[in-house]
Structures are given as C-alpha cells and as structure tokens.
Structure 1
Amino acid sequence: MSQLFTAFCLGPITLPNRIVIAPMCQYSAVDGIASDWHQIHLGNLALSGAGLLIIEATAVEARGRISPADLGLWSDACAAALGKILDSIRRYSPMPIAIQIAHAGRKASTAPPWDGGHPLGANDGGWQPVAPSPLAFMPEDMPPQELSQLDMVQIEQAFVSAAQRAQQIGVDAIEIHAAHGYLLHQFLSPLANLRDDEFGGSLENRMRFPLEVFAAMRSAVSERIPIGVRISATDWVAGGWDVEQSIVFANQLKARGCAFIHVSSGGLSPQQKIPLGPNYQVPLAEAIRAGCGLPTIAVGLITEAEAAEAIIAEGRADLVAIARGILYDPRWPWHAAAKLGAQVDAPRQYWRCQPRELKELFGDIRFRQR
C-alpha cells in the first residue's frame, strides 16, 4: 500500500492523503479582494485530488502585502469575496482548505515578480514598509520603519482579526507565515532583528512576538480549526536563524497548541547560499520532526511521486507539499496515484478520462456535509 495515499489526521480534520498544495502567491487581487482569477486557480487545484489545499499568503493589513496585488483578509469585503469563492468550490470538491495568514514586513511594497519585483515608491503605488529594526532587505532599498510596541499590538490584533474572518468563511485550517524573510521571520532572525527591548537580542526575546501572535490567534478561533506555522528552518547565512533555533521555536509552538510545522528555508537575506537540488529541504523537516514531534510538512523541489512516497514511508515527514510542480501539472496527485498503485479522489464528471489500464484509479467521492 502506498504510504503517500494513506489518510492523516491534522488536529481534528482528516486528510485523505499526505499531499499538500503549498501556498503560492498569485498577485491577482484588487485592494486585497479575491478576483475571478482566484476562482479559476483555486477551483482547478481543488479538483487535483490532493489531501489539503493551502491558499496563498493573505495579508492581515494593507501595508503587510508583498505587492499591491496581494490577497488580503483585513476587511469584511475581503472575507466576503474569498468566502464566495470557497462556497463555490465546495459544491464540487470535498478537499480540506487552509489559508496562510501573513505580513510581509520589510519585504512589502514591491512590484509583482513579472514586473521585476523591485521596491515601489509612493508615486508607483507603494508605501512605507515596517519591520522589527530599520534594516532594509537589500542595501539599496529604503529602510523600513521600526515598529513600536504599540504598532506590534495593532499588528497582533490584525492577525487575530484575519484568523476570525478565516473562521467565518469556513476554512478548515490556518497556517501562520513565519518564513521566507517576512515579518515574523524578521523577528526570529538575528540578521534582521537588532532590537534592544524584550523583543530582540536573545533567542527567547526574538521568539516572543511570533509566539504571542500564535497564542492570540489560537485563543481567538475554534479548536476545530488547527493552526500551524510555516518556518524557514535556516537563513542559509552564518550567524543567522538555523535548525537548532527552529527546533526550540517549534517546541515552544507545540506547548501553545500548534498543530503542524511546515518546513521551508531561506528568504531573509540576499547573502543566503542555498544548496538547491531535489528534496534539498527534506533533511530540515526531518530534523525538526525528530526534535519536536509535531506533524511536519516537507517542501522544496519534491517533484517525483517515488520521492514523495519515500519521504513518507521512511518517516522523514508526515506530509509532502507540492508548489510549482502542481502549477505545471495540476493533476500531479492523479499521476502519482497511478505510479504508486493507489486511488485518488476525482470529480465524477472526470471519471471517464481514466486510461483503460487504470480503471481503479479514481475513488468514489463523498461530499462532506457542512
């Protein structure tokens, strides 16, 4: 039996298999409001047969967007638009859906990647980024404004409000973005956090604000909604955030009710030296899983079904996330199931597409009652 296609309990929700669609920014919202593109994009992925779909990084406030076209959840209008899309998707797909809640910090106010990804000034629709310390991501960038403790209280409340809106529109799980050099990662890393108050300096202090945000969100939504955290396990820079600190952080999150850890890496410093290659981040996930015991998601150039199967079968991670690969091949889980001799959920409208030699590929979908 394929281990990749066994069920897995993520807190109170049961995933039909171990394949996760990682959050991927689409830069297609208008003032934070989901567009028709999100209807098409998310609807397509929701028919893929994966075990869990995580909606892209969704900003808790307008200045927390990476670009002006980022998805947001800071207003009832944002929630209504995204909720309408989710309602539509769920008429045809039983796939559990999570959302990644985020704040870009000093990496905010940039153009979408296809427009160069450069920082935007006020005349180009940009705004003043904020951060733990007034250190720019790139030396030539405008320094961010250092957050006061009052600012931090307001941002924490923005995370809480976004989580509550996510619950209102019926998401199954929430992922907090503390990776890739965005705000919460900036607090964690000594390369970006030079504060001299109780939120900077020691590891305990640098973890304080991200842990407070997590605890506040956890207490603000129902226990039926698991909350996990995506981290960069290492900055890939000497003297920066690393695996050992990540394990400490993961254990602190676990003590506060964290349901899972999604392990990525990098994104905080242009000085990073990343050893790219197939499955290059899996050892990080394996180390953190062993160090904290939380359900762990591995991600990063996992492109082949056999590799994903081995990661689960060998106990290196509990779940495998696919990102760019599933944009290229939106039926990746179907093809993985075919290779591994497993079954996958597919909409009945597509059942007739099964190749003759794979007549047992598709399972019988039973829609959840809400």
Structure 2
Amino acid sequence: MKKQSLMLSSAVAFAVIAGATAASADTLRLLTWGGYAPEDVVAKFEDMTGHTVEVTKSNNEEMIAKLRATGGGGFDLAQPSQDRIAGPQAEFGIYKPMDMSKIDTSLFIPSMLEATKGNTMVGDAVYGVPHVWGTSGLVVDTAMAGMVKDYTDLCSPDVAGKVSYRLKRPTLIGFAFSMGLDPFAAYGDEAAYTDIMGQVEAKLIECKPGVKTYWGGGDELMGLLRSGEVVASMAWDTGGWKLNADKPDITFVAPAAGALGWVDTFVLPAKGKADDAAYAWINFVMQPEVAAMITAAAGNFTASQGADEFASADLKARYQASFPAEAIDNIKWYPPVPAGLEAIEGGVLDRVKAAK
C-alpha cells in the first residue's frame, strides 16, 4: 500500500508540474555533475513538460569559476555542494534566492532540507536545497569487529593493528564528534577550534600504535578490507556497500556520533532566464521514482523522501540497514569552512603523522 500510494501521489504531482509548465516551455540550461541528469530522466522530463534540457557536466571549482566569470549568467540551474554557496554568494553575488513557495518541500527528507537551507542562507534568504548526498563513517567487518560503533572505537585494543583511516580533515572532525566535542559549532571561534583540534591531536597520537596504515586511496582500502588485514576503517558509505556485495560481513556503519555528510544542491544562478523550468526540474527529479533513477546512475542517494523504496533490492537493503531514520537525522552536514581553519587542521595532521 505504501508503494502504491507513493506512485499515485507522484502521478498527481507529475500532472501538476506538466500543467504548470506546458504553457511556457523554456530551455533549461543545467550545470551539474556526471550522473545527476541521466538521459532517461531528461527524456521523461522533456516529454512531460515540453521544456528542453541542455546539460553541462562540471565540478565545484568549475561551476564557481563559470558563474563568477559571467556574474551568474549562462545557466538556469546549478548544483554546487552546499559549502560552496554562502561564501561565493556573499563575495560574488552569483546566485539568486530560492522561492520556497515554488518547491514541493514534502518531497524532501525533512532533516536534510532544513540543514541545507540553514547552511545556504545569506541574510534572511535561502539559496540552496539538497539533491544528491553521501557520507563518510565506518566500514566494518561485523564478524571480526562488531564492537566498532563509533570513530574512537577504532582505538580499541580489540582491533589493534587491524584498523585504518586517512590523515585528512574528516578524521579530525569525526573523532571530535565521537569525543563529545562539536567542531562545527566552533567554526566561528578560532581559539575554541584550536582547543578542540588539540584534544583530537592527542587522541590520534595515543591511538597511532594500533593503526595498521593510514590509507591514501579507495582501492588501497578496499584491498585491505577484502584481505582481512583491516577489519574496521573510516570510509565512505558507497565503498562499504560495494564491499558488502562481495563479502556480506563487511558493510557501512553510521557512527553513533553521526556520519559526516556532504550534499550537492540546487541553486539558481543570478542571471538565469528559465526559473519556471528550473523549479519544474527540481520538483520532477525529487519524485521518489525519478530520484531512484538518479541513484542508479550516480551511485549515491538523493534527499527525496521514500526514494529508497524504488532502488534496487540489494541497494535498498544496504541503505536501510546502514541508515535507519535516527541515523539520517544524526548526520553531521559539513558547513562552509571559515578562513584559517584548514591551516590549524594541517598542523594537527602533520604532527600526528610525525609522532612516534
């Protein structure tokens, strides 16, 4: 019944979108990532609305550069990560505010929508809503390291010599939350952030003897986990699910302190000319059935409420096991990084690496 009702509500929503847009069909110039606008989704949208879609694939750095060079022109909808919105908008004025009355907010996972709205505000205006997301957390061989539930559990004597993580900022952030600290809350206070990072540094140096290796690339880590040399590590959700397909005991675990989340958003470029088409695209791709098509193409889930029900059976099972509702609501979403903090983190990482 749940799936049937979702399909019925989606059909009604599709009809509303089609009726609202058919009278004023425009070309939507979309600046996005690979996999976020697959051909079958574009074709369905064009057939339903009469709009055409021109897709330009890019990345964060290129998106900002293109929009900065034109003062926000050349595109009608773009998809930078949520930490690339407030800063560039305040400095360059390359986006326009979202009209939330034109977005069907019921399609979104509420906690993700609220977090992204908060992280993309400039003044009183919201500049972004969430689309594709992913996390880093723990990948665990549950048969060998079932007691690893949080980042600092990687320091446990039970798994000494068989754990791994990167010497990168996600490790610092994750350990801080696991230690009961809130690094994001200290982003505006350099002294407080320095103190938090000092505590994390001490913890990582204390834990260093139990680390098998600090992994540098995904292929390296996958090999370590497959071979059993490593039984628990910090890593991405998609990597854990990929391993789970080969070795059922290995999977992604959302840490008790919260997985660390990134979000690629929807934003309106300042000089975009097809806002109606942009809003129609957002409401279309956030429909659960369509969102599942994007997940199949991109490999990551979207902020569409209920889209996991339409994913492939295997991926749906892995997602739901890793992310019950409370784990979703506990994700720590990366906010924009203030100037100066990366230098503090770099010093910590250098000292941990050099420690004997």
Judge same fold: TM > 0.5, yes or no: no
> Which structure is larger by alpha-carbon Rg, 1 or 2?
2
Structure with greater proportional helix content: 2
Normalising by structure 1, what TM-score?
Answer: 0.24
Normalising by structure 2, what TM-score?
Answer: 0.25
